[in-house]
């Protein structure tokens, strides 16, 4: 029988992929094997111990009519079972409470007349390969203690059995969600909770009590110990706040001057800014998952059969909704940058003065409809808390269970790839525009070379901001190098968080219309303050600007013909 124990140890050490219990005959064989080991543990003629790396069998001859026998396995530097870590106490007073003991079983027995044949037997299995459950599914591939312990008696009445487990698992990656005290029911060929209850747990110790003796286990379910994102850094709050203010002012300004500009231009600017504004508001108020504040011990007192060793995070439909809205409005933002790029190309590079019929309606349908289609398909294909969005914060899922980037998660194919194609299109249009229009030599330009270069640089940057070119920095964050990743993270945070402010600067503050309106408002303010009889411009600005007319000052500062052409294409058709 010792040779058989050695064979069982080898079976328990087999690779999971090699050890399949799909065959019914193999299941029946393991059933016969475990019953044989159980009988062997109580049939020896004397005290005997057989210990292999994956199984330990111990037999105790009862010498007292009343006894409390404790069998325990101590922790070691390796997972293998060794004799000096297997302990038996025939007159134990109770379970051990030290942290050196990993698993233990205490059998309280009574025998009125000892005949010398009474035995108590124990079998400790390294894992549960010989006990394939149809109910309890193993989903985690991480190593954790799933040892099975058997306690049996021959010719003796068992009063009760107590089991205690000090579970071994990676506490930095997982946290225990629940556990169940079970025994192997040979009639069901599965784990069963009948006759077993949970006892009050001690720190780091799971305790069970059963009214019968057989093969016992403590089934456990774990939750991933998510590292929830910290609250947004002050840099993000400042950047998003400035963007929200800038985008709001940009939208209001372009709506107020809509009669002075063609509808197509106003539509592009207002739609782009609206999508970006809503995204920023949702981002700053809802990106953090409220589950980060939930820290409740879910391990219930009820001894209920578990379905899996992996428990998903608490459901949070609000976080899923936030992720979907962020997904939609950010895709809409990029879609409107692409439509802006198309309009710039048609009006400046191709010099078209007549846009096609129903231009505004078609652009609106594409700008708002295509992102909605993407989000709908993504939700329909991947909807679940763990598949559509991340748990760490309310955004699209990207990593698998091993925290590795996964091509099956929606972040890649529902966001990164579509945005990459949009950015590629925008970059191509950006290149054609600055080469064919902005930096094209203009012999009629009446300004110094230095001023021309500055104007061209200014116009180039303005187009890059409007088309979202700086978002390519986000892809640089995928570089798997810590220092490089940190640098690009901060640079990307600065440029992306303040994009709304940049648009306000280039789409409002530097335009001729704004300068004219600002000049008129300034003059009206000065007249109301000083009266009509006094020239307020000369009075207020003469000390600063000398003899320069302040109206001309407002109209000439940062003046650039190329930049104004992007916003004031007077001959464009609606």
Split at pLDDT 50, 70, 90, the class of 73 is very high
Residue 332 pLDDT exceeds 90: yes
Split at pLDDT 50, 70, 90, the class of 299 is confident
Calculate mean pLDDT across residues 468-497.
Answer: 80
In a domain, 111, yes or no: yes
Q: Contact 265/569 with Cβ under 8 angstroms? A: yes
Give the model's pLDDT for residue 198. 93
In three-state form (DSSP H/G/I as H, E/B as E, the rest C), the secondary structure along 313-367 is CCCCHHHHHHHHHHHHHHHHHHHHHHHHHHHHHHHHHCCCCCCCCCHHHHHHHHH
Q: Contact 228/393 with Cβ under 8 angstroms? A: yes
Residue 264 pLDDT exceeds 80: no
Task: List Cα–Cα distances, 240 to 247, 261, 283, 394, 511, in angstroms.
Answer: 10, 29, 9, 17, 23
CATH number at 334 reads 1.20.1070.10
Give the model's pLDDT for residue 554. 36
**The dihedral sign for the CA sequence 131, 310, 414, 407:** negative
Give the model's pLDDT for residue 418. 95
Do 116 and 256 share a structural domain?
A: no
Give the model's pLDDT for residue 353. 64
Calculate mean pLDDT across residues 206-226.
Answer: 89
Residue 365 pLDDT exceeds 50: yes
Q: For residues 268 and 498, what is the distance between their CA atoms, to the nearest angstrom?
A: 19
In a domain, 164, yes or no: yes
Q: How many CB atoms lie within 10 A of CB 10?
A: 12
Among 123-137, 249-263, 424-438, 483-497, whose mean pLDDT is lowest?
Answer: 483-497
Give the model's pLDDT for residue 560. 38
In a domain, 430, yes or no: yes
Calculate mean pLDDT across residues 179-185.
Answer: 94
Residue 573 pLDDT exceeds 50: no
Calculate mean pLDDT across residues 425-444.
Answer: 77
Query: What is the pTM assigned to this prediction?
Result: 0.73
Give the model's pLDDT for residue 125. 94
Q: For residues 231 and 215, what is the distance between their CA atoms, to the nearest angstrom?
A: 48
Helix, strand, or coil (residue 194): coil
Contacts of 247 (CB under 8 A, 6+ apart): 273, 274, 276, 277, 280, 500, 503, 504
Give the model's pLDDT for residue 17. 63
Do 189 and 256 share a structural domain?
A: no
Give the model's pLDDT for residue 271. 96
Can you spell out the DSSP letters for 17-43? TT----SHHHHHHHHHHHHHHHHHHHH
Q: For residues 348 and 114, what is the distance between their CA atoms, to the nearest angstrom?
A: 105
Split at pLDDT 50, 70, 90, the class of 530 is low
Residue 550 pLDDT exceeds 60: no
Query: What are the structure tokens assigned to 457, written together?
Result: 């640089």
Do 173 and 273 share a structural domain?
A: no
Do 188 and 274 share a structural domain?
A: no
Give the model's pLDDT for residue 538. 45
Calculate mean pLDDT across residues 495-523.
Answer: 84
Q: Which of 547, 543, 550 is nearest to 523 (CA)?
A: 550
Q: How many helices (H) and strands (E) does the chain have?
A: 16, 13
Q: For residues 151 and 503, what is the distance between their CA atoms, to the nearest angstrom?
A: 74
Do 133 and 259 share a structural domain?
A: no
Q: For residues 437 and 463, what is the distance between their CA atoms, to the nearest angstrom?
A: 12
Among 140-149, 199-208, 481-490, 528-537, whose mean pLDDT is lowest?
Answer: 528-537
Split at pLDDT 50, 70, 90, the class of 249 is very high
Contacts of 491 (CB under 8 A, 6+ apart): 473
Among 130-134, 448-452, 460-464, whose mean pLDDT is lowest?
Answer: 448-452
Contacts of 391 (CB under 8 A, 6+ apart): 224, 226, 228, 289, 291, 313, 385
Give the model's pLDDT for residue 1. 67
Q: Which of 256-270, 369-383, 403-417 has the largest mean confidence?
A: 369-383
Residue 465 pLDDT exceeds 70: yes
Residue 184 pLDDT exceeds 90: yes
Q: Contact 566/348 with Cβ under 8 angstroms? A: yes
Calculate mean pLDDT across residues 6-31.
Answer: 71
Q: Which of 374-378, 441-445, 478-482 has the largest mean confidence?
A: 374-378
In a domain, 299, yes or no: no
Residue 116 pLDDT exceeds 80: no
Residue 158 pLDDT exceeds 60: yes
Do 441 and 415 share a structural domain?
A: yes
Split at pLDDT 50, 70, 90, the class of 559 is very low
Could you give the percent of the chain with pLDDT greater than 70? 81
Q: Which of 568, 486, 571, 511 is nearest to 266 (CA)?
A: 568
Query: What are the structure tokens assigned to 392, written together?
Result: 């760490």
Q: Which of 224, 242, 275 is the last residue of a domain?
A: 224
Q: Which of 224, 259, 283 is the last residue of a domain?
A: 224
Split at pLDDT 50, 70, 90, the class of 30 is confident
In a domain, 71, yes or no: yes
Calculate mean pLDDT across residues 337-344.
Answer: 92
In a domain, 418, yes or no: yes
Q: Which of 105, 97, 144 is nearest to 124 (CA)?
A: 105
Residue 544 pLDDT exceeds 70: no
Do 239 and 115 share a structural domain?
A: no
Do 238 and 202 share a structural domain?
A: no
Among 51-60, 382-391, 514-523, 549-558, whose mean pLDDT is lowest?
Answer: 549-558
Which residues constitute the domain of residue 286? 234-292+316-510+558-567
Question: Sheet holding 190-192: strands in order across?
Answer: 48-51, 55-61, 119-125, 148-154, 215-224, 174-185, 190-192
Q: Which of 71-85, 295-309, 378-392, 434-448 has the largest mean confidence?
A: 71-85
In a domain, 176, yes or no: yes
The conformation of residue 469, written as its DSSP 8-state character, comes to G
Domains identified in the chain, total number:
2
In a domain, 544, yes or no: no
Could you give the percent of the chain with pLDDT greater than 90? 31
Higher-confidence residue: 133 or 139?
A: 133
Calculate mean pLDDT across residues 34-49.
Answer: 81
């Amino acid at each position: 029988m010792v040779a058989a124990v050695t064979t069982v140890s080898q079976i328990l050490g087999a690779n999971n992929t090699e050890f399949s219990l799909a065959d019914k005959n193999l299941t029946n064989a393991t059933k016969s094997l475990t019953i044989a080991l159980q009988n062997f543990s109580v049939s020896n003629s004397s005290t005997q111990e057989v210990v292999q790396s994956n199984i330990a069998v111990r037999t105790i001859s009862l010498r007292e009519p009343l006894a409390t026998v404790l069998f325990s396995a101590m922790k070691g530097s390796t997972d293998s079972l060794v004799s000096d870590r297997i302990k038996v106490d025939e007159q134990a007073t109770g379970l051990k409470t030290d942290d050196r003991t990993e698993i233990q079983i205490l059998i309280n027995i009574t025998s009125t007349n000892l005949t010398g044949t009474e035995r108590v037997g124990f079998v400790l299995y390294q894992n549960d390969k010989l006990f394939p459950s149809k109910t309890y599914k193993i989903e985690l591939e991480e190593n954790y203690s799933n040892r099975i312990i058997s306690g049996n008696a021959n010719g003796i009445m068992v009063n009760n059995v107590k089991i205690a487990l000090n579970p071994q698992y990676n506490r930095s990656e997982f946290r225990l969600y629940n556990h169940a005290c079970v025994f192997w029911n040979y009639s069901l060929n599965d784990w069963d909770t009948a006759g077993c209850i949970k006892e009050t747990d001690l720190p780091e110790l799971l305790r069970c009590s059963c009214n019968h003796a057989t093969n016992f286990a403590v089934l456990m379910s774990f939750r991933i110990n998510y590292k929830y994102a910290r609250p947004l850094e002050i840099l993000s709050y400042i950047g998003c706040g400035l963007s929200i203010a800038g985008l709001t002012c940009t939208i209001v300004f372009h709506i107020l001057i809509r009669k002075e500009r063609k509808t197509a231009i106003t539509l592009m600017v207002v739609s782009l800014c609206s999508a970006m504004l809503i995204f920023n508001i949702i981002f700053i108020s809802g990106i953090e998952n409220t589950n980060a504040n939930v820290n409740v011990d879910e391990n219930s007192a009820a001894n209920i059969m578990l379905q899996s060793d992996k428990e998903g995070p608490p459901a949070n439909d609000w976080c899923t909704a936030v992720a979907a809205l962020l997904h939609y409005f950010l895709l809409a933002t990029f879609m409107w940058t692409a439509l802006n790029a198309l309009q710039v190309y048609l009006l400046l590079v191709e010099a078209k003065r007549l846009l096609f019929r129903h231009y505004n309606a078609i652009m609106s349908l594409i700008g708002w409809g295509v992102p909605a289609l993407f989000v709908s398909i993504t939700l329909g294909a991947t909807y679940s808390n763990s598949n559509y969005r991340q748990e760490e914060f309310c955004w699209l899922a990207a990593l698998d269970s091993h925290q590795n980037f996964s091509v099956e998660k929606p972040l890649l194919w529902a966001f990164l790839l579509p945005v990459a194609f949009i950015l590629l299109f925008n970059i191509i249009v950006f290149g054609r525009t600055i080469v064919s229009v902005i930096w094209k030599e203009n012999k009629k330009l009446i300004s110094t070379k230095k001023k021309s270069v500055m104007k061209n640089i200014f116009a180039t940057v303005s187009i890059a901001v409007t088309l979202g070119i700086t978002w390519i920095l986000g892809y640089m964050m995928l570089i798997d190098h810590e220092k490089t990743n940190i640098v690009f993270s901060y640079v990307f945070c600065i440029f992306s968080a303040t994009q709304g402010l940049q648009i306000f600067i280039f789409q409002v503050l530097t335009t001729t219309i704004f300068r004219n309106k600002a000049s008129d408002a300034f003059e009206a303010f000065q007249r109301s303050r000083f009266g009509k009889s006094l020239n307020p411009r000369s009075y207020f600005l003469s000390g600063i600007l000398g003899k320069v007319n302040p109206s001309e000052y407002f109209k000439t500062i940062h003046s650039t013909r190329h930049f104004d052409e992007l916003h004031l294409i007077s001959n464009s058709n609606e």
